[in-house]
Structure 1
Amino acid sequence: MDDSTAFQGSIPEHYDSGLGPVLFRHYADVLGAAVAEGRPRRILETAAGTGISSAAIAARNRDAQLVITDLNAEMLELARQALPATARVEVADAQALPFPDASFDAVACQFGIMFVPELPRAFREARRVLVPHGVFHFSVWDSHAENRFAAIVDGLLAETFPDDPPPFYSVPFRLSDVQALRTLAQSTGFRSVRIDVVPHDAPVVSWEGFADGLIRGNPVADQLRRRSADLDAVVAEVARRLDAEYGAAPTTIPVQTIFYRATVR
């Protein structure tokens, strides 16, 4: 099976520049504001990526101690550039956090839990490092039906490689079952779970730039290279299909995520 968690090589730069302005910056602000509501003194972020959400958390929580983690060191190199010097940045696995019990008032994970192999372990770890009444803030993408741009890319990949389609675009959109995540949170030690469905009209300056991020800004790039695909041709076709679906850029596209706030018992 292809590794859908390896954001390495040139992927972080394409992720940050091609996907960040469209898919992540607005939701980073939403997350930063949500975390700030609890006035936490110590904040841990897991699966922080290139630091887009980290920067928003830092901006909204200026007096808090911030620890930023991700599995991919190359993603964190970009994150360091977006953060104040006081932030602690280190490689860590959300399923086995290297921190003592009750170390943080808040844990945040934006669009990361979809990539965790064993979700119960990650939830138990978040619970373990939180203080009593601490909050685990996490978000996931809603389904392909609510994020048509992803369905378009996934459909193209399936058409191009019908016998062995790259699997990446089935991963980030696989956790849209609200009840399943609520049940998991409550079964791993969280008392109450607030759930907010958050639609957004995401701005797209150019289809070519966004398409480049959708193909070269995540592990589907390596999945395609292993299939000897012409990445330039795939990017061009994604841009063409997005233009046909939504009209000429600049424009906006509808996207939708689900935000959770799980409070420790």
Structure 2
Amino acid sequence: MLFNVWDRIEENEFAQVISVALESLFPENPPQFMSRTPHGYYNPATIERDIQSGGFVSQPRMHTIAERSRADSPEIPALAYCQGTPLRNEIEARDKSRLSEATDHAANAIALRFGPGPVDGKIQAHIITVER
């Protein structure tokens, strides 16, 4: 079996910057989708235990890969994350009328961290292989 999972949010810069930005916009109930779901299942011990619980007896091999995510502007990753993932549902659950504001806030946070032009952020994932 071969599969991959994102590493923790701290290893994925755009996701982390956007999550922190949205925490400041919704301080009473910040959206947690990114840290909870795509970046919430990264712990090697947990993954190994789950694989063994699934009937695999061989030792899984985990390889961590770091790459770069690039976009022509801060608005592109902000739009992708805030309106193109289930994070959108969490933003709208807090206040449907603030989706554009949240997207702009995320874009501004990315621009503050990476600059106003083309942006380049680290992304990291684990590739896991295991045989029955």
Q: Give the TM-score range, shorter chain.
A: 0.7 to 0.9
For residue 69 of structure 1, what is the aligned residue in structure 2?
Answer: none
- 1:217 and 1:197 map into 2 onto residues whose CA distance is 26
Give the % identical residues: 25
Does structure 1 residue 222 correspond to structure 2 residue 92? no
For residue 116 of structure 1, what is the aligned residue in structure 2?
Answer: none
Give the CA deviation at 1:192: 3.1
Does structure 1 residue 175 correspond to structure 2 residue 41? yes
Secondary structure of 2:19's counterpart equals: helix
For residue 110 of structure 2, what is the aligned residue in structure 1?
Answer: 242
**Structure-2-length-normalised TM-score:** 0.87
**Structure-1-length-normalised TM-score:** 0.46
Give the CA deviation at 1:213: 0.7
In 1, are the aligned partners of 2:22 and 2:106 still within 8 Å (CA)?
Answer: no
Secondary structure of 2:52's counterpart equals: helix
- 2:116 and 2:28 map into 1 onto residues whose CA distance is 33
For residue 144 of structure 1, what is the aligned residue in structure 2?
Answer: 9
Structure 2, unaligned runs of 5 or more: none
Where is the helix percentage greater, Structure 1 or Structure 2?
A: 2
Over aligned residues, Cα RMSD in angstroms? Answer: 1.6
In 2, are the aligned partners of 1:197 and 1:256 still within 8 Å (CA)?
Answer: yes
- 2:76 and 2:31 map into 1 onto residues whose CA distance is 21
State how many pairs are aligned.
Answer: 129
Does structure 1 residue 193 correspond to structure 2 residue 65? no
Does structure 1 residue 257 correspond to structure 2 residue 122? no
Does structure 1 residue 158 correspond to structure 2 residue 31? no
* 1:32-71 superposed matches below 5 A: none
Give the CA deviation at 1:248: 3.5
Structure with higher RCO (Cα < 8 A, 6+ apart): 2
Higher-Rg structure is 1
**Structure 1 runs, 4 residues or longer, greater than 3 Å off:** none
In 2, are the aligned partners of 1:207 and 1:239 still within 8 Å (CA)?
Answer: yes
The amino acid across from 2:29 in the alignment is: D
Secondary structure of 1:209's counterpart equals: helix
- 1:157 and 1:219 map into 2 onto residues whose CA distance is 14
